[in-house]
Each structure stands twice: as structure tokens, then as C-alpha cells.
Structure 1
Amino acid sequence: MQSKHVSLSPANLLFPLALVLFEFAVYIANDMVQPAMLQVTREFMVNTSWVPTSMTAFLIGGAVLPWLTGPLSDRIGRRPVLLFGVAYFVLACLASYLVHSIESFIALRVLQGMGLCFINAVGYAAVQEAFEETAAVKVTALMANVALIAPLVGPLAGAALVEIAPWRSCFLVIAAMSFIALLGLIWKMPETVKPSHDKLPLSQMGRDYLRLFSQRRFVLSALCIPLLALPLMGWIALSPVLLVQDLGMSTLQYGMMQLPVFGGLIAGNFALVLLADRWPLGRSVFVGMGPIVSGLLLMLAGVLFAAEPVWLMVAGMSLMSFGEGLSFGVLYRFALMSSPVAKGTVSASMSMLSMAGYALGIEIFRLAYMLGGMAGFAACSVLTALLFVQLARSTVPQAMAERAAPADYLPPELQTQNS
């Protein structure tokens, strides 16, 4: 174990960099594969309704193991659990050469999605423990920028790769990146908890989880994260169908349309890094609500009224993603620190809530699209954003007040709640 880092330097950023390379590889296992899904459905001779199911299965996998990986890392240490998880993910990617039906492919996607269980429940907990609060928020935002290259370049790289190589080659590239991340983590990952040699009884784990999920503040704080991210997750899952099938774009054009969307997310994260020392933690969440809601309303208006809706759709999603970038790092920290329970367990619970929320939410987005087309997708995005705003306005002020945030940084109607 070591003391927490107060400031950022190249030396103490090597561990987060190795972790984010693994995170990048896991995320690109979704974003790079989505444009290849049309080729996958053709090979297995099924219809395109299976396209978003690949992402749903991947996210279900991300909700399977955090209940164990988080508490296990509290007991035996973050380092051995994370190193095992990276090695497992490498093997799961290579296993794509063994599948020969859509059913076995979807099952493998669940196994690959388990790689997510080690990022949030173990890796991010270690980062939060290795840095002081403001530095941890900055590192989270910087890591998000690197990880966001996955949805930025993933569709482009996937679309380009499947033009010249079989879709399974995507997983070979991902496995190679994950192996490099494994070497970096072996080299630079510190141990941030004191390992215990005591047994980890399931009854104790159950009591910890019951205690945590009975805390209303934690549950509401954690639910802010999937509600914030779902419109963008729905876009990632359905944009191959929206842009390629409905609007007739090529796969490369589809990939180019992702650049401004994820560029907005990167810009929002950089803005958070720059403002973290100037604003009290939490203010950026309220500022981000404006572009989130207005951007999704712009997308809905484009779908309903524009002759060529793609430009307003992309502009609206870009605004929304900028607001998400301003908010995510702060909301993650607030949720993690909202309970005194061991942080591996808290982080695991957050991961399970998020992955389950994403999986359920994407299925709701899919049903909205099937029932209402592009308008159904856009309307579902707006409703999700409004739910996020309502929930965040009830949880963020308390976290700000605990950190002695000046009252005048809150919206006027919320100042009276914290006076």
C-alpha cells in the first residue's frame, strides 16, 4: 500500500494509463464489433433484429460477476483480481474463432462482457483509493477521454476492418491490446488495500449488500449514472440500424457520424478536468443538464420535422454527450462515497446497477424503435434524460453540501433545500 497522490504526474499516471488501455480494449469489444454485426447476421443467416442483442448480451455479462469481484478484491487485494480479469478477457476474445451460430456468438458475448466486471468493481475502486478526491475526479475524467477513443474510433476501425478481413479479426486485435494492458498492470499497478487472510463467507457478503442496497441515498446516487449514459448507449446500440438501414448510409459514413458525438463527450471530460479546481464538485452536473436535455430535444425535433434528420440527430447527440462528459466523473465519485461500506463492494454494486440498467434500458430503446422508428428512439432518449435530471437534482445537492459547496453554486430553487 502507498499514500494517496494529491497531484498528477507522468509517474503516478502510468497505472491509470495501463488500466484505461484495458478499459479501451473491453469497450472496443463492443464499439468495434457493432458495425461488424451486419456481417455476423449474414454469416449466421439471421435477421438484423439480432444487432442490438449483441450489445445487450455484452452488458448482461458486465452485470454477472461484480457481486464477487468487488468484495473479493476487498479481501485479497485489488491487484490479483484485476490481473486475473485481464488475462480472462484475452482468452474470451480469442474464443470467437470457436463460435459457429448466432446463439453461441451471443453466449460468448456474455462471457466477453464479464471483462467489464473487473474495470469498475476493481480497477476504478483502486484508482479512487490511489488519489485524493479532486485528483481522483480529474483522473476519472482523463481516463474517460482515453476510453472514449473506443466509441470514437471503434465504429470507424470496425467498419474499415470488416471491409478487408473477416469479422473475427476484430477480436484478435482486441486480444492483442488487452495483453499489452496486462503487461502494463503487472508492472505499475499498486495494491491499494491491505489483503486479509480471513475467509470471505457468503453470509457476510450478503449482509454487506443488503446494508448497501437498503441505503436510499446510495441507490439513487448510483442510478444517476445509467440514466445519464443511456441515451448515448442506445445510440451506440441502434445507430447501425438508424443510419445504415433506415437512412441508407455506408458503414464508413456511419462511422464518420460518430466523430462529433464522441468528440462532444471528450470535450465535456476535458472541460471537467479544467474546471474541477475552480468549481465545487457538483456544479458541473447542473451545468451539464442544459446541453443534455436541449440536445435530445433537438434530435427529436430533427426526426419529427426535418427532411434530412441525420444532421440534427448527430448535433443533438453531440450536445447531449458534452453534458454527459461534464457530469460523469463527479457522479461516479459522489455515488462511491455515498456509503461507508467497503469501496470494492460499493463499486461492485454500482457496476451491477449500471450494467443491469444499461441492458434493460437498451432493450427498452430497442422496443421504442420497433414501435415508433426513429421518433420512438428519440422520444425514449428525451424521457430518460428528464428522469436523470429529476434524480440528480435530488441527490447532488446533499453531496455538495457535505463538501461545503457555496450555496450560490446551486440553482435558486435548490438553495433552500440545503440552507
Structure 2
Amino acid sequence: MSQQEKISRLNLATLLFPLALVLFEFAVYIGNDMAQPAMLQVVQEFGVDASWVPLSMTAYLLGGALLPWLSGPLSDRYGRRPVLLFGVAWFTASCLATYLVSDIHSYMLLRVLQGFGLCFINAVGYAAIQEAYAENTAVRVTALMANVALIAPLAGPLAGAALITLAPWRTGFLLIALCSLLALLGLWWKMPETVQPSAAVKLTPRALWHGYTRLLRDGRFVRSALCIPLLAMPLMAWIALSPLLLVEDLHLSALEYGLWQLPVFAGLIGGNLLLALVAERWPLGRSVLVGMWPLVGGLLLMLAGVLYGGQQHVFLVLGMSLMALGEGLSFGVLYRFALTASPQAKGIVSAGMSMLSMAGYALGIELFRWGYLAGGITGFALLSVCTALGFVWLARPQVKRAMAERADPDLLPQGI
């Protein structure tokens, strides 16, 4: 899609494509968050013990890790539109197929197949968003979409728990499939084709290997891509460890635990909304530099409160809320900078970003787990501060370089 064809104004008509994409993203996310509360019914029906319960999430995430390396290059070869439509249709059909399973092994295999839906969101869908919209508009759209996607981890478990009290567990998958089907119809109607399908893109193992190794040898791309997991890691670790921090260590009730999560998500939503507001008013990248202040300052405040203050849960939540505000101001811009850091086809670039992010999240959460086991709440807070400082050290020069290039368009890498 040429620069002249890129969308630069947002209205209902130009937002229908991202709305349909984020509806699919929502369906895929609640495919995990809504399904987990039903697992006790699943294992009971299939006559197996409760040790199978966590394997449902593992199988789903395994499916999401299997195909990004292929879905991105496929969309370079055949176009974003047909590949994404296939991915949405696949996910819809695999959710409906739960009505056919009759044992736990078939169910777990189906969870892997359903997890394939994760492979099409970033590697294909978000790449198309970046290509369909002008640069600042793409950042605004990404920030707005992030708020809708945040509803899934909040509403999914509650909706799943409520549904299993009213209907059989398979009904949840029917509702997820319906949501995905509506997204499919919206994408069929409004998704543009943003790349020209090219037979020159080879999908042989050798060609893919050379493409990814060339990408990973590009130091600028790797540094830009690693900024994303470094930015998000404290919040990801908070999601993983906050039940232990708040309930086990600080003895909050389950209700109090849930209520203290609200300021953190509010901070993230507020940061995304601020980014959408300033994206076309500020030079692209300035919001990241501004966001570094609440990000680092909030985590330093959290560490000081944990070490020297009472009411540790207040400082934990306040620090994480400020950190989340900084993340919201930064994420959409950093995603754009990483995607445009390499001149290679954007399908393989977005797939490479997705795989680096997943690897960074996996390693980071394990590191935070060990930090918590070694130092408890203090270990978590100290590691959060170190991660934030590492993010500033890595991201600041990348952002300043990207801002300088956009101030002088002759310096921009090919393909922006």
C-alpha cells in the first residue's frame, strides 16, 4: 500500500477494520481466560484427575508458539488478507469442534489447534494495521485497540466462572466461536489488502532460515524488538506473581486482591488513551521519553515503600500503576519503531518480533520467579527497578535515533 493510499483520518468507516481485528483478538484471549474456569467440569466429565487442569493453558500457549515463524512469511507470499481470514476461520472452526471431543486427549489436542489463532494476531493482523494507516495514525489505532484487548483478562475469568453455573462447559466455546465468526465477517467486509502478493517470497526451509538469521543479525532490529519485552516485563511479572505477593505474603482476601488490580489496569488504559491523544501532536517517540519518568519513578517509589514504609500493598499497587501508565505511553510507538527497524518484508519482521517477545517474556517471568523465591516482595521490587533501568538504557538511544530519522525523511529505512 503506497503512502498516498494510507489512512490518515479516523472515523467509523476507517475504524471498522481494526475493530474487527480487535474483536478476533478478544475472542482468542478469552479462549484461554474464559476456558480455564470450566476445566474442573471438563476433567470431571472425562474422568481424569485435576492435574490436567493447568495443561489446558499450556496446550493453548504451545499452539500459539508453533506457527508465528510461518504465518508472517505466508502473508508476505500470499497477502495479509487471505492468511488472516484463514486464521480466523480456523480458530472459529476449532472452537466449534469442542462439541465433537469425548476424551481428555482429544480435548488437549484441540486446545493446541485453537492456540494457532494466537499466531495470526501480531504476525499478520498488527502488521496489516501498521501498513494500512499513516504512521501516527497507526500508533493511535494500536493504542486504542490495546484498551479493548485488556478487557479479556478482566472479563474472561469472571464470565467463564458465571457461565459454568448456568450452562455446560461447551457453551463457552460456542460463545467464543460466535465472537470469532463476527470478527471474520467484519474482516471479510472491511480488511484491505496491504501488500502485493509476491511469488518472489520463498517459503522453503532454507529461505526461511536465511530470512530469520539475516533478521537476527540486524543489531538495530534486535535492540528495538527487545525493548518491548523489557518494557512490559514488570507488569507481566506482576500478573503472574501478584496472587502470591498480595494474598500469600500480605494476607489480602481474594476480593481485595481483585480490587487492588483495578488501579494497575486503569494506569495502563490511561497511558494508552494519552498516547492516542498525543500521537499526532507530539513528534513520534516523545511519549516514550516522557513515559520513562512514571515508569522508573513508580518502580523506585514501590521499592522504597517496600523497604521502608508500612502498607506495602499500597506502594506495590501505586508503583505498578505508574509503571503501567508509562508502558501505555510507550508500547504502541516502540512496536512501530521495531517493525520499521528492518527493511525486510513486514510479515517476517513482525513474526520475528513476536518470537523474540515470547522468548523474552518466558525468560523474564522465570527470572522474576527466582527473584521472588530468593527475596520475596523485596526481590520482586528490586528486579522490577533493574528491568526498568535496563529498558531505559536500551530504548533511549533507539528512540532518539528513530526520532532523528523522522525529522529528516531521507534517513528513514526503506519501507516506512
| 1:54 Cα deviation after fit | 6.8
- Aligned partner of 1:363: which letter? E
Match of 2:411 in 1: none
Q: Indicate the residue corresponding to 2:117 in structure 1.
A: 115
Displacement of 1:384: 1.8
CA distance in 2 between partners of 1:314 and 1:30 (Å): 25
Per-residue CA deviations over 1:278-327 (Å, capped at 9, x if unaligned) read 21111111111111122223333444455543232222211111100000
Cα distance in 2 for partners of 1:243, 1:38 equals 25
Partners of 2:311 and 2:172 in 1: CA distance: 32
Of residues 117, 131, 134, the one that matches 1:132 is 134
| Equivalent residue number for residue 265 of structure 1 | 268
- The answer on whether the counterparts of 1:368 and 1:377 sit within 8 Å (CA) in structure 2 is yes
Q: Note closer, same or farther for the CA distance 1:190–1:252 as it changes in structure 2 (3 Å cut).
A: farther
8 Å contact kept, 1:243–1:254: yes
Are residues 1:393 and 2:389 paired?
Answer: no
Deviates further, 336-345 or 230-239? 230-239
Partner of 1:285: 288
Is 1:334 paired with 2:342? Answer: no
1:165–1:228: structure 2 CA closer, same or farther, 3 Å change rule? farther
CA offsets 1:100-130 (integer angstroms, 9 cap, x no match): 66x9887765544432210111001111111
Comparing 103-112 with 376-385, greater Cα deviation is found at 103-112
Alignment partner for residue 67 of structure 1, among 53, 66, 69?
69
Alignment partner of 1:185: what SS? helix
The residue that corresponds to 2:313 in the other structure is: 310
Q: Tell me the residue number matched to 1:179.
A: 181
The equivalent residue for 2:384 is: 381
Cα offset, 1:68, TM superposition: 0.6
Query: Which among 360, 363, 367 is matched to residue 363 of structure 2?
Result: 360
Whether the 8 Å contact between 2:368 and 2:383 is mirrored in structure 1 is yes
Distance 2:51 2:307 in 1: 31
Matches within 5 A, 1:201-350: 201-249=204-252, 251-350=254-353
> 1-side partners of 2:317 and 2:165: how far apart?
24
Which secondary structure does the structure 1 equivalent of 2:196 belong to? coil
The alpha-carbon distance between structure 1 residues 58 and 221, as it changes in their structure 2 partners (threshold 3 A), is farther
Query: Which residues of 2 match residues 25-174 of structure 1 at below 5 A?
Result: 25-32=27-34, 44-46=49-51, 58-93=60-95, 98=101, 110-158=112-160, 160-161=162-163, 170-174=172-176
Aligned residues, how many? 401
Q: Say whether the 8 Å CA contact 1:152–1:263 is kept in structure 2.
A: no
SS at match of 1:280: coil
User: Contact 2:40/2:50 (CA < 8 Å) preserved in 1?
Assistant: no
Instruction: Please give the TM-score of this superposition, normalised by the length of structure 2.
Output: 0.84
- The CA distance in 2 between the partners of 1:301 and 1:38, in whole Å, is 41
Match of 1:63, SS state, is helix
Q: Deviations over 1:245-282 (max 9, x none)?
A: 54555555433333221111111011111111221111
CA contact (8 A) 1:156 1:255 kept: no
Specify whether residues 132 and 15 from structure 1 end up closer, same or farther in structure 2 by C-alpha distance, changes over 3 A only. same
Cα distance change on mapping 1:28 and 1:376 into 2, 3 Å: farther
Query: What amino acid is the match of 2:313?
Result: V
Looking at structure 1, the residues matched to 87 and 285 of structure 2 have their Cα atoms a distance apart, in angstroms, of 32
Cα displacement string for residues 207-248 of structure 1 (whole angstroms, at most 9, x for unaligned residues): 222221111000000000111111112222233444445455
Code of the aligned partner of 1:45:
A
Deviation of 1:32 after TM superposition, in Å, equals: 4.4
In structure 2, distance between residues paired with 1:248 and 1:319: 23
- Aligned-pair distance for 1:200? 3.1
Cα RMSD between the aligned structures? 3.2
Say if 1:96 and 1:168, in contact at 8 Å, map to a contact too: yes
Contact 2:342 2:349 in 1 (8 A): yes
Amino acid at match of 1:135: T
Residue 14 (structure 2) aligns with = 12
1:345/1:173 CA distance change after superposition, 3 Å = same
Q: How far apart, CA to CA, are the structure 2 residues paired with 1:265 and 1:66? A: 26
Match of 1:413 in 2: none
| CA distance, structure 1, for counterparts of residue 293 and residue 263 of structure 2 | 18
In structure 1, stretches of 5+ residues that fail to align are 406-419
CA contact (8 A) 1:152 1:258 kept: no
Deviates more, 1:226-235 or 1:375-384: 375-384
2:197 aligned partner: 195
SS at match of 2:50: coil
Shift of 1:206: 2.1
**Residue 409 of structure 1: aligned partner:** none
1:414 corresponds in structure 2 to none
Query: SS at 1:13's partner residue?
Result: helix
Is the Cα–Cα contact under 8 Å of residues 151 and 262 in structure 1 kept in the other structure?
no
CA separation of 1:211/1:84 partners in 2, compared to 1, >3 Å: closer, same or farther? same
Q: Counterpart of 1:218 in structure 2: which amino acid?
A: F
